[in-house]
Amino acid sequence: MADVELAALRNRATSCATGCATNWATSGDAIWADAAESLDRYGNAVLPSVLRAKQCEQLAALYPRDDCFRSRIVMARHNFGRGEYKYFAYPLPPLLERLRHALYRRLAPVANRWNRQMGIDVQYPDELEAFLARCHAAGQTRPTPLMLRYREGDYNCLHQDLYGDHVFPLQVAILLSAPGTDFTGGEFVMTETGSRDQHADVVALEQGDAVVFAVNQRPDMTVNPRGRAGVRRVAMRHGVSVVRSGTRHTLGLIFHDARAASASASVLEPA
């Protein structure tokens, strides 16, 4: 595919998103109220049909390209699991850029409330541009949106996407492939570990669905044995179970950028 064809694909995806992705992310107060409730209760929330099937196919078709990505990671080389993923380069494809900004705008109030509940003295600006400026000033300049590809036998170990000192506490994954048609297995898995218990949650997704989830921790409003309400922090991790057949593509939208050439900045990305 020539460069002009890639640019045309990006423009078509942006046009297609106008009535779906961007408008969806900036409207639907009832949907977002339900999402906030699910995040508070489980640490994750499903946003249905964020992308249309055609948009998913167009984005997945970018994966073989190298000119819109900055790096490729083979997971088995770093004991991350099996499979591979690529980090997008700046500038992001327009559809991703719009989604990233629109979703951040909706999630920032939840992130700020969580930090207040956990006693963390960090608040996030209303707009992604201001938060990224904070990241870049601290040396976190590498873009973190990514696309992951899993084939038969591939999986993703439980992990947290941190990348540096500035961490936005929520992120988004959008399933680009159709379960049962493009692949089987490959479920999105989250684990939660608190001071008294731990459990796993398998999140069912359809093509085009997004899951919003906690990056590394969330507040848990509990009642102790004496009947007193309190807040505790619970640790969160996420991964993907073994793909039994086919190929699974996923789009990952992380809102903080990565520290340059730091092996300790991320659970997922080596230097």
pLDDT, tens only, 112-170: 999 999 999 999 999 999 999 999 999 999 999 999 999 999 999 999 999 999 999 99
CATH number of the domain within which 75 lies:
2.60.120.620
Per-residue model confidence (pLDDT) at position 197: 78
Residue 232 lies in a domain: yes
Residue 11 lies in a domain: yes
Domain count, the chain: 1
Domain that holds residue 50: 3-259
Q: How confident is the model at residue 228 (pLDDT cuts 50, 70, 90)?
A: low
CB atoms within 10 A of CB 117: 15
Residue 269 lies in a domain: no
Model confidence pLDDT, tens digit, residues 24-41? 555 568 889 999 999 999
What are the distances in angstroms from CA 39 to CA 166, 192, 201, 215? 21, 12, 13, 12
Specify the pTM. Answer: 0.86
Residue 91 lies in a domain: yes
**Can you tell me the distance from the alpha carbon of 24 to that of 183, in angstroms, rounded to the nearest whole number?**
27
Residue 271 lies in a domain: no
Q: Mean pLDDT lowest for which of 146-155, 198-207, 225-234?
A: 225-234
Angle in degrees, 0-180, between the axes of helices 29-42 and 94-118, rounded to the nearest 10: 50
pLDDT at 16 over 70: no
Per-residue model confidence (pLDDT) at position 226: 53
Residue 265 lies in a domain: no
- The mean pLDDT value for 2-14 works out to 38
pLDDT at 255 over 50: yes
